Amino acid sequence: MQTFRRLQDPSSILGSSTNIGGEMKFKVLKSDMTSPFQGFKFETDKWYHCSDFDESGTQCSRGFYVTPVEGLTYAYRKDRRVFEAKVKGKSRAFDMFKQRYEYIKLIRELSIDEIRTLAKAEEEKCGYKLCEALFPFDPLTDANPRNRVTQKDIDNLKKWISVADSVGDSVRTSVFDSVGDSVADSVEDSVGDSVFDSVGDSVADSVGASVWTSAGAYIGSLFPNIKKWKYVEQKEGEYPFQCLVDLWYRGFVPSYDGVKWRLHQGRYANIVYELEEK
């Protein structure tokens, strides 16, 4: 069991409190100020020390974990809080998502607007829509509930039907293998938690696979820098799953029961359009 303790003033041990490399670090906590993974409770403006810090290559081990802004997708969810953090001492960085330190101090909590601003500013560097990955668009709750199915929506559904047999099962595989598993996993967790938190279990069960296919297409659309998607044929510069993305932003999620194609809308994924396959 790792040993944490609060220090009154570690300056004699650490020197200045500037972060290593000068990069801003952030700590994600639950609403009660506890870590979502370790359960340790924090206070702001206090130094904490892990006396048995693990310097090995073992991930998820002893120490305090922080992340740069790009890594927030790993832990941040809409019911959690983000704090700017100071870190010092021994360290072990694995990737953008998991960076472990011996000492930590929480400086201040960031507002939602601040998180959005930081994420937007990072997008050119990280190469994808980080802000939207952190605050994903939920088609079942964020779209205008008054949207009615238009001919363009039907055309997008038919486009998907025309290729679903050949690429339907490979949407998420194509996206994950093109993006890279670690980033795609993190973004999928963020998107998935947002979407499935908005619907009941019974609804999620009934259209869950269809939602995940559309969610995979949506996740891929957050990476406009990727021009070639694996395992699917496409025109140069064209995103192969755009028809699903267009439906997603309109608030419609398609499903298929072996006989009929349907478009679902709203918090309870109500059926708003049916098309029988001939």
**What integer best gives the mean pLDDT of the chain?**
86
4-116 CATH, one of 3.40.50, 2.70.98, 3.30.70, 3.20.170: 3.20.170
Is the pLDDT at 22 greater than 60? The verdict is yes
Name the burial class of residue 9, with classes exposed (0-12), middle (13-18) and buried (19+) by CB atoms within 10 angstroms of its CB. exposed
Residue 192: the pLDDT is: 75
What tens digit of pLDDT does each residue of 112-128 get?
Answer: 999 999 999 999 999 99
Kindly write down the DSSP assignment for every residue of 250-278, as one continuous string.
HT-EEEE-SSEEEEEETTTTEEEEEEE--
What tens digit of pLDDT does each residue of 212-252 get?
Answer: 888 889 999 999 998 888 888 888 778 999 999 999 999 99
What tens digit of pLDDT does each residue of 132-175 get?
Answer: 999 999 898 899 999 999 999 999 999 999 988 778 668 888 88
Between 24-28, 187-191, 266-270, the lowest mean confidence (pLDDT) is in: 187-191
Query: Stretch 257-276: mean pLDDT, rounded?
Result: 90
d(CA 116, CA 30): 18
Q: Which residue has the higher pLDDT, 29 or 188?
A: 29
Is the pLDDT at 12 greater than 80? The verdict is no
Domain positions in the chain are 4-116, 136-276
What tens digit of pLDDT does each residue of 31-83 get?
Answer: 999 999 889 999 999 999 999 999 999 999 999 999 999 999 989 988 899 99
CB 175 within 8 A of CB 216: yes
Residue 15: the pLDDT is: 36
Confidence (pTM): 0.84
